[in-house]
């Protein structure tokens, strides 16, 4: 079997890759470098120069070759490599008539617990989102910020005490709305400094969140380790890390109790599986990051299916970034999309490969929507993280 073509495909806000072979088998992958889709597509096209004519079954070799042939890396390159890796696993599964999880050692679970995405510009909207999740049968909510998802066009200002006490009060309301039937995955989106993160973490311990995600910018791993050492709230991080080696440094410094590899930028199924195994050695849980399409979800579910230390899967629902920015219906985008079973889980399917394929005409129905370069400013004019 030989690779015949490697094609980046823009659909809606997503970037996919389709790899065709001389046997007629087609593999599908997705990139997670969503801020730089054009650059990633160009990198995929560059990788095609190497891949065309090669045996698609030599996944690890191609991964090593493309990672190591030159000294550049980062999210764009790794987004491209991840998309290619997922597509090669998809091809391999279809070639062997087996789901990818069967090739990774077989399923250790039949369904994956998921968390519901909650967005809101006010605390009331976020509380409503939790109630909505409960009604639908979810047992966890995530993307749940204690600071609200205010518009990025609104200048920001709060005093320190407003910022911290307001966040604590919001988490109290979330717990009240969630009861003990729903876990809270608190998303900080890198808004805090290390001392703020420690104050907030200690103040919300009483509400028993499942985790506090990205309390500080992930660039300095020692700072994440400092925060993790000062609070009993589990720290979840890793969505921006693009390699196994960054995760090794994070865990060596005690920076996380839960790791969040993004299958679509950490090196695909190959990379994420290694991160999961690294974490397993330390009894650290895995919560695959997944803000993307049902293709990413399908790739994540191969990790969920096979990693003994899998904890919960991010399962995006209806919006993206700003509230109300609706996604295409999963079933309109792909066949085989994972569906919530009404009990807080999705079933892991046993279809060959990753189990999903683009619907015919999806690219025409959902033309590419470039993400605007927009971030929030402080009232003093400086950039804030949100
Ligand atoms: Mg996050």
What is the secondary structure of 320-386 as a DSSP string? ESEEEEEPPPHHHHEES---B-SSSEEEPP--SBTS-EEPTTHHHHS---PPP----BBTTS-B---
Closest CA relative to residue 348, chosen from 311, 314, 299, 384: 299
Phi first, then psi: give them for residue 311, nearest 5 degrees. -115, -55
189 is catalytic: yes
pLDDT per position as a tens digit, 164-223: 999 999 999 999 999 999 999 999 999 999 999 999 999 999 999 999 999 999 999 999
Residue at token pair 């320190």: 160
Cβ burial of 153 (10 Å; 0-12, 13-18, 19+) is exposed
Q: How far apart are CA 87 and CA 18, in angstroms?
A: 7
* Cα–ligand 1 centroid distance for 291 (angstroms): 8
Half-sphere exposure of residue 162: CA atoms within 13 angstroms, side-chain side: 4
Q: Domain 3-99 falls in which CATH fold? A: Enolase-like; domain 1 (3.30.390)
The mean pLDDT value for 314-337 works out to 81
Select which of 283, 289, 340, 378 is catalytic: 289
Biggest CA-to-CA distance, the chain: 63
What H or E segment, with its residue span, contains residue 212? Answer: strand 211-213
Closest CA relative to residue 59, chosen from 3, 116, 110: 3
State pTM to two decimals: 0.97
pLDDT per position as a tens digit, 229-270: 999 999 999 999 999 999 999 999 999 999 999 999 999 999
The pLDDT of residue 327 is above 90: no
289 is catalytic: yes
Q: How far apart are CA 329 and CA 63, in angstroms?
A: 32
* Cα–ligand 1 centroid distance for 3 (angstroms): 35
Q: How far apart are CA 113 and CA 313, in angstroms?
A: 6
- Under DSSP, the state recorded for 69 is S
* Cα–ligand 1 centroid distance for 342 (angstroms): 24
* Cα–ligand 1 centroid distance for 319 (angstroms): 15
Q: How far apart are CA 223 and CA 103, in angstroms?
A: 38
Phi first, then psi: give them for residue 110, nearest 5 degrees. -95, -25
Q: What is the pLDDT of residue 121?
A: 86
Phi first, then psi: give them for residue 51, nearest 5 degrees. -75, -35
The pLDDT of residue 358 is above 90: yes
Top-tier CATH class for 102-354: alpha beta
Q: Tell me the two tokens of residue 211.
A: 């985790």
* Cα–ligand 1 centroid distance for 144 (angstroms): 10
* Cα–ligand 1 centroid distance for 239 (angstroms): 6
Q: What is the pLDDT of residue 150?
A: 80
* Cα–ligand 1 centroid distance for 213 (angstroms): 6
Exposure b/e, 217-242, CB count within 10 A at least 16 = b: ebeebebbbbbbeebebbbbbbbbbb
In the chain, what percentage of residues exceed pLDDT 70? 98
* Cα–ligand 1 centroid distance for 59 (angstroms): 29
* Cα–ligand 1 centroid distance for 178 (angstroms): 20
Select which of 189, 283, 340, 378 is catalytic: 189
Exposure b/e, 38-68, CB count within 10 A at least 16 = b: ebbbebbeebbeebeebebeebeebbeebbe
Q: How far apart are CA 56 and CA 87, in angstroms?
A: 9
Q: What ranges do the domains of the chain cover? A: 3-99, 102-354
Q: What is the pLDDT of residue 319?
A: 60
Q: How far apart are CA 370 and CA 367, in angstroms?
A: 10
Task: Tell me the average pLDDT of the chain.
Answer: 96
């Amino acid at each position: 079997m030989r690779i015949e073509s490697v094609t980046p495909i823009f659909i809606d806000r997503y970037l996919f890759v389709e790899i065709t072979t001389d046997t007629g088998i087609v593999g599908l992958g997705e990139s997670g470098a969503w801020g730089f889709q054009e650059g990633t597509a160009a990198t995929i096209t560059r990788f095609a120069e190497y891949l065309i004519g090669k045996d698609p079954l030599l996944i690890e070799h191609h991964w090593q070759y493309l990672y190591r042939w030159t000294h550049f890396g980062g999210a764009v390159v790794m987004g491209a490599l991840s998309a290619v890796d997922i597509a090669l696993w998809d091809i391999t599964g279809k070639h062997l008539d087996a789901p990818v999880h069967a090739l990774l050692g077989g399923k250790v679970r039949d369904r994956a617990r998921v968390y519901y995405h909650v967005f809101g510009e006010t605390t009331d909207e976020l509380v409503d989102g939790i109630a909505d999740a409960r009604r639908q049968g979810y047992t966890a909510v995530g993307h749940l910020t204690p600071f609200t998802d205010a518009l990025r066009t609104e200048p920001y200002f709060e005093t320190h005490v407003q910022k911290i006490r307001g966040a604590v009060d919001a988490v109290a309301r979330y717990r009240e709305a969630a009861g003990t039937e729903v876990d809270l995955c608190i998303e900080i989106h890198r808004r805090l400094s290390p001392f703020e993160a420690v104050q907030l973490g200690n103040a919300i311990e009483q509400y028993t969140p499942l985790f506090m995600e990205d309390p500080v910018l992930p660039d300095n791993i020692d700072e994440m380790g400092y925060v993790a050492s000062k609070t009993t709230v589990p720290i979840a991080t890793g969505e921006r890390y693009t390699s196994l080696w960054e995760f090794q440094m994070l865990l060596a410094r005690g920076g996380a109790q839960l790791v969040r590899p993004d299958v679509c930028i950490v090196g695909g199924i190959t990379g994420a599986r290694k991160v999961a195994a690294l974490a397993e050695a330390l009894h650290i849980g895995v919560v695959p990051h997944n803000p993307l399409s049902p293709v990413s979800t399908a790739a994540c579910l191969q990790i969920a299916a096979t990693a003994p230390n899998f904890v919960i899967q991010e399962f995006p629902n209806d919006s993206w970034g700003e509230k109300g920015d609706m996604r295409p219906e999963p079933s309109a985008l792909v066949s085989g999309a994972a569906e919530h079973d009404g009990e807080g889980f999705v079933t892991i399917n046993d279809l060959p490969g990753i189990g999903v394929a683009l619907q015919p005409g999806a690219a025409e129905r959902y033309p590419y929507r470039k993400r605007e370069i927009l971030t929030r400013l402080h009232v003093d004019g400086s950039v804030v993280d949100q």
